[in-house]
Structure 1
Amino acid sequence: MKSKLSPEILEKYFKGDCNEAEIAEIRAWYASFEPDLDDISALPREEVQLLKQLMWSNISDNIESNNVVDIDRRRSLWRSVIYWVSSSAAILLVLFLVKQQGTRPNTVASHAREPLKEAVSNTAGVIKKITLSDGSTVWLSPKSALTYLQKFTGQKREVTLTGEAFFEVTKDSNRPFSIYSGNVITKVWGTSFRVRSFTADKTTKVNVLTGKVSVAIAVPKETRTDLNNEVMLLPNQEAVYDKNLGQLQKNDKIKDVSIGMWKKANLSFNNTQLRDVFKVLSKSFNVKISSDDERINSDYLKADFTNENLPAIMEILQTTLNVTYSVRNENEFILEGSK
């Protein structure tokens, strides 16, 4: 390994104060690392290059992390980083970790860059609202679970669902949005629809309210029948997958009336007693809303619900009235006072 670089020059480089000659000196120093006979000479040439790349990556990571450090501590941290990267111990430390863990540097780096996943399990009695990184909204029903990337990358957006959820997908013509629910794959570009795929159910259903959705089965082509082919759904159409028969069927009309809670409505109340508000909401969304608490029933509400579905309205009521609700038998909403 060649001579060390002055920490002062590195400090100037990180601050952006180097002239062209000093920058050239730094780049020459970085390119000068060669395997010594007593440390990394046994490594292949490719791995030596990987060690250098990892070291440079670590330098960059340390610089980026300093951006959030208190100003009074920044200069000392700069010094720590600079003295670290200007010593031969940097490469030797990486080499030690590689030998001890049996992991190559490129593998370590690739794991560090893997997108982080979120797994949300709704064990409460309410419908949980989830906003994804692309702006899409997922309304996760009770006893359901959703897995997704914290930030969508590349040319696709993918989530995995167990149970039931209603999706309002942000339009993106370059990146399809795919939902994996058992053997069923639902793919869209921007639309609103519901997927119901509980493990105990005999069927998986996809109901479309707006836009266009494709539904297919994740099975080998040689095992498919005519009913297994991909189907395209338009608004108010549904696809039903029979788990036992392995068949996918398209219906031109949604048969499940509970889809009504996801249709958006415009409703206005002007100092209306809540018992009457519940009656209007129940009729509008084809559900049953009630409360056993007379204090809630006798309260009054003044509100405008414009282009809102029932779960969104229930969230507003929870915040405004300081109440909670639970879902029973899929279409019954029971309100209680907050404890």
Structure 2
Amino acid sequence: MKDRTYIETLFRKHLDFQCTSAEIKELFKLISKQENEELFNDLIADELTKDMPEPMLPKSEDRAIDKVKSVLLSEIRAQIPDTKPVKSPYKIPNTWLKIAAVWLFIGSATIFMLFRHFTNRNENQIIPQIQQLATQKGQRKLIQLFDGTKIWLSPSGSLRYADQLINNYREVWLDGEAFFEVAKDKTHPFIIHSGRMQTQVVGTSFNIKSFSKQNIYNVTVVTGIVKVSMLSPQKEKLSEVILKPKQQAIYNNTQGTLTDKTVATIEPVIKKRNGILSYDGTPVPDVIADFEHYYNQSIELENKSATCLCYGEFDTTKPIEIVLRQLAEAIGATIKQTDKGYFIKGGCSDR
């Protein structure tokens, strides 16, 4: 038999997720040998009882040890390189679920301490770290996720994302506007959470505008198929629409409605990814709101100008003076710089 200290050290390393592939294979061989049965029983019993106020009954302890050993063998076997898992009609994807099933089968609190131990160590291993990317006014950022997905985050936006899968899903949380090029993966759907609006794809490109302070959200598809759902406050699905290229979903947060429509062109969506804003009959106040986000400047609009509609294309990589002058020419207004920012006077109603 291998030295007792060696076996115990290997066992502890496994509990702490410190075993190499070779050590996992070695541990499986050792724990399977009849000559080591008593030693492993003692090690498991120590884990079961070390924090318990009272000793276990012998019969209960034996049953608990047998069940936990069975789980440990299954877990270790699954971690051995090039070893195919045994097919089972039941899916138990994580060790903590196996331990939970054993705990319920025994029907006793005597296994609780080891269950908690496995739960904690596995949660530390599999729970992804949620990271956050934020943009200030006048700032845009491009991020590439672990799966190759690219996201262009527009100004004044916030994106929370995981650096790995979450229960077989790729998930992000968006407050703001972003263009997505999602890497194709049919087995791991990509989900964007925007308040009560949820967008799900497997691999496509589209734009989402979902500022939490605004009532209207929209999703515009460039390529592929996108499923947009409206959820209840309890996260139950109330309705959904399936979108194809040149289609857009509109979610009204105030009215609680989700509708879809066809758009004439997707070029404005594609150009917006690179900071080029295109408008075809858009109210000037909406255009000004976009400019304020992209330039981090205060732009005041005279009441007369608020009735105008804007047609044109603006490159926000150029100085603000240039795009404001372009807007003023389009609506027949004048631009004045103030201590606070800019003021647009007059407009189409003066003509």
Task: Report TM bin, short chain.
Answer: 0.5 to 0.7
Tell me the SS of whatever aligns to 2:123: helix
- 1:204 Cα offset (Å): 0.4
- 1:121 Cα offset (Å): 2.0
* 1:105 correspondence with 2:117: yes
How far apart are the structure 1 equivalents of 2:232 and 2:49? Answer: 55
Q: Which residue of 2 aligns with 1:148?
A: 161
Q: Which residue of 1 aligns with 2:215?
A: 202
Tell me the SS of whatever aligns to 1:105: helix
2:5 to 4, 7, 28: 7
Q: Which residue of 2 aligns with 1:42?
A: 54
Give the conservation status (yes or no) of the 8 Å contact 1:215–1:239. yes
Give CA-to-partner distance per residue, 1:284-335, whole Å, 9 cap, x none: x749xxxxxxxxxxxxxxxxxxxxxxxxxxxxxxxxxxxxxx9338962246
Give the conservation status (yes or no) of the 8 Å contact 2:41–2:65. no
Give 1:34-113 correspondences, 5 Å limit: 34=45, 40=52, 42=54, 104-113=116-125
Tell me the SS of whatever aligns to 2:120: helix
Q: Which residue of 2 aligns with 1:332?
A: 316
How far apart are the structure 1 equivalents of 2:186 and 2:207? Answer: 20
Name structure 1 gaps, 5 residues minimum: 61-97, 265-280, 288-325
Tell me the SS of whatever aligns to 1:230: strand
How far apart are the structure 2 equivalents of 1:213 and 1:40? Answer: 53
Note closer, same or farther for the CA distance 1:180–1:43 as it changes in structure 2 (3 Å cut).
farther
Give the conservation status (yes or no) of the 8 Å contact 1:40–1:48. no
How far apart are the structure 1 equivalents of 2:50 and 2:273? Answer: 72
- 1:231 Cα offset (Å): 1.2
Give 1:1-339 correspondences, 5 Å limit: 6-7=4-5, 24=33, 25-26=35-36, 28-33=38-43, 34=45, 40=52, 42=54, 104-113=116-125, 114-123=127-136, 125-219=138-232, 229-253=239-263, 258-262=268-272, 286=278, 327-328=294-295, 332-334=316-318
Name structure 2 gaps, 5 residues minimum: 12-18, 77-112, 280-292, 297-313, 321-351
- 1:9 Cα offset (Å): 6.4
- 1:5 Cα offset (Å): 5.2
Tell me the SS of whatever aligns to 2:186: coil
- 1:175 Cα offset (Å): 1.9
1:333 partner amino acid: T
How far apart are the structure 2 equivalents of 1:136 and 1:245? Answer: 33
1:128 partner amino acid: K
Give the conservation status (yes or no) of the 8 Å contact 1:180–1:186. yes
1:7 partner amino acid: T
Give CA-to-partner distance per residue, 1:119-167, whole Å, 9 cap, x none: 2222363321111121111111121111121111443222111111111
Note closer, same or farther for the CA distance 1:184–1:212 as it changes in structure 2 (3 Å cut).
same
1:252 partner amino acid: T
Note closer, same or farther for the CA distance 1:213–1:331 as it changes in structure 2 (3 Å cut).
farther
What value does the CA root-mean-square deviation take over the aligned residues?
4.8
Q: Which residue of 1 aligns with 2:331?
A: none
Give CA-to-partner distance per residue, 1:206-236, whole Å, 9 cap, x none: 0111111111101279x99xxx731111112
How far apart are the structure 1 equivalents of 2:4 and 2:172? Answer: 50
How far apart are the structure 1 equivalents of 2:49 and 2:190? Answer: 53
Q: Which residue of 2 aligns with 1:303?
A: none
Note closer, same or farther for the CA distance 1:131–1:39 as it changes in structure 2 (3 Å cut).
closer
TM-score (norm 1): 0.53
Give the conservation status (yes or no) of the 8 Å contact 2:151–2:179. yes
Identity of aligned residues (%): 28
Tell me the SS of whatever aligns to 2:317: strand
Note closer, same or farther for the CA distance 1:254–1:185 as it changes in structure 2 (3 Å cut).
farther
- 1:105 Cα offset (Å): 2.3
Give the conservation status (yes or no) of the 8 Å contact 2:196–2:233. no
2:316 partner amino acid: E
Q: How many residue pairs align between the two structures?
A: 230
Note closer, same or farther for the CA distance 1:145–1:220 as it changes in structure 2 (3 Å cut).
closer
Deviates more, 1:25-34 or 1:7-16: 7-16
Give the conservation status (yes or no) of the 8 Å contact 2:216–2:252. yes
TM-score (norm 2): 0.52
Give the conservation status (yes or no) of the 8 Å contact 2:139–2:156. no
How far apart are the structure 2 equivalents of 1:150 and 1:159? Answer: 10
- 1:109 Cα offset (Å): 2.6
Give the conservation status (yes or no) of the 8 Å contact 1:122–1:142. yes
- 1:199 Cα offset (Å): 1.7
